[in-house]
């Protein structure tokens, strides 16, 4: 398999996953430049012209949570994905897609100085609703985490959510609420996450 990525992209969220799955030597990491993404050869693989992109033979997988889910299933023996008949698979996908949808939607929107009045006006069309709804979703989920989202065993969804949370807190896109601290302090102890700069900066918030 080949993973096309860029060091300043959300492809970085996949690095702890590769480490936890112990597959760093099985995936060829191809660092591309932003210019490479404009090339027809790259666009043929991903017409969006975005990274990350995982290539597994004839299969081209863009969209970060799809790569998370694909790799966690492919290397199922490492225990990062619930089994097909495990009811927790529902919560697992909920968190993967929550990060890809509402959470990153808000991180993007928070860069654009959009007023609360504009958000109120468009809230029905926004996948995230209002920022306070997003916070309520996160607070409830993280208060129920014990210590991980699915209980005692960490899943790929924890690696994805914790990364985005630490990043969003560093960007000040979301506050570092008391309700988030036990979960983030716990996940930050994983060697795969403790090396990530956003986790190292958490103490400053
Ligand atoms: N929906 C994609 C979005 C990927 C994405 O936005 N990638 C950005 C970097 S974080 C990118 O490739 N930007 C390069 C460009 O637009 O030229 C995913 O979540 O994987």
Is the minimum distance from the CB of 61 to ligand 1 under 6 angstroms?
no
How far does the centroid of ligand 1 lie from the alpha carbon of residue 37, in Å?
10
Of the residues 35, 51, 171, which should be mutated to test ligand 1's pocket, given the most ligand atoms within 8 Å of the CB? 51
Residue 63 in contact with ligand 1 by CB distance below 6 A: yes
Is the CB–ligand 1 distance for residue 51 below 6 Å? yes
Q: What is the pLDDT of residues 68-113, one digit of tens each?
A: 999 999 999 999 999 999 999 999 999 999 999 999 999 999 999 8
Helix (H, G, I), strand (E, B) or coil at 35: coil
* pLDDT tens readout for residues 158-202: 999 999 999 999 999 999 999 999 999 999 999 999 999 999 999
Kindly report, residue by residue over 15-45, the tens digit of the pLDDT: 999 999 999 999 999 999 999 999 999 999 9
Distance of alpha carbon 183 from alpha carbon 179, whole angstroms = 8
**Cα–Cα distance, 6 to 42 (Å, whole number):** 13
Sign of the four-CA dihedral 129, 149, 200, 194: negative
User: Measured from the CB, is residue 101 less than 6 Å from ligand 1?
Assistant: no
Query: Which of 3, 4, 10, 48 to mutate to test ligand 1, by most ligand atoms within 8 A of the CB atom?
Result: 10
- Confidence tier at 204 by pLDDT (50, 70, 90): confident
Any ligand 1 atom below 6 A from CB of 50: yes
Confidence of residue 152 (pLDDT cuts 50, 70, 90): very high
Q: Are the beta carbons of 68 and 12 closer than 8 angstroms? A: no
- What is the DSSP code (8-state) at residue 16? H
Q: What is the pLDDT of residues 59-70, one digit of tens each?
A: 999 999 999 999
Is domain 89-204 classified as CATH 1.20.1050? yes
Q: Closest ligand 1 atom to the C-alpha of 48?
A: 16
Ligand 1: which residue has its CA nearest to atom 17? 34
Q: Which residue has the tokens 């995982």?
A: 54
Q: What residues does 5 pair with on adjacent strands? A: 31
Mutate to test the pocket of ligand 1, among 48, 50, 68 (most ligand atoms within 8 A of CB): 50
Mean residue pLDDT of the chain comes to 96
pLDDT of residue 29: 98
Contact at 8 Å (CB) between 134 and 165? no
Rounded Cα–Cα distance for residues 165 and 34 (Å): 25
The whole-number pLDDT of residue 13 equals 98
How far is the C-alpha of 120 from the C-alpha of 194, rounded, in Å? Answer: 37
Task: Please provide the CATH number assigned to the domain covering 2-78.
Answer: 3.40.30.10
pTM of the entire predicted model: 0.96
Average pLDDT for 146-166: 97
pLDDT value for 142:
97
Average pLDDT in the 107-124 region?
92
Token digits of residue 37: 């993404």
Q: Environment class of residue 22 by beta-carbon count within 10 Å: exposed (0-12), middle (13-18) or buried (19+)?
A: exposed
The pLDDT, as a whole number, for residue 118 is 94
Residue 203's pLDDT is 85
Q: Give residue limits of the domains in the chain.
A: 2-78, 89-204
């Amino acid at each position: 398999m080949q993973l096309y990525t860029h060091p300043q992209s959300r492809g970085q969220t996949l690095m702890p996953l590769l480490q936890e799955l112990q597959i760093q030597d099985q995936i060829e990491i191809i660092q591309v430049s932003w210019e490479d993404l404009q090339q027809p050869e790259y666009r043929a693989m991903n017409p969006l012209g975005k990274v990350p992109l995982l290539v597994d033979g004839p299969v081209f997988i863009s969209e970060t949570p799809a790569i998370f889910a694909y790799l966690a299933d492919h290397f199922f023996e490492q225990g990062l994905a619930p089994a097909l008949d495990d009811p927790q698979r529902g919560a697992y996908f909920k968190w993967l897609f929550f990060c890809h949808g509402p959470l990153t939607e808000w991180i993007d929107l928070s860069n654009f100085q959009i007023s609360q009045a504009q958000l109120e006006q468009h809230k029905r069309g926004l996948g995230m609703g209002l920022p306070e709804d997003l916070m309520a979703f996160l607070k409830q989920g993280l208060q129920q985490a014990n210590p991980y989202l699915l209980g005692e065993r960490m899943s790929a969804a924890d690696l994805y959510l914790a990364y985005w949370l630490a990043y969003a807190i560093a960007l000040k896109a979301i506050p570092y609420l008391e309700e988030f601290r036990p979960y983030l302090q716990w996940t930050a102890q994983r060697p795969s996450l403790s090396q990530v700069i956003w986790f190292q900066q958490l103490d400053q918030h």
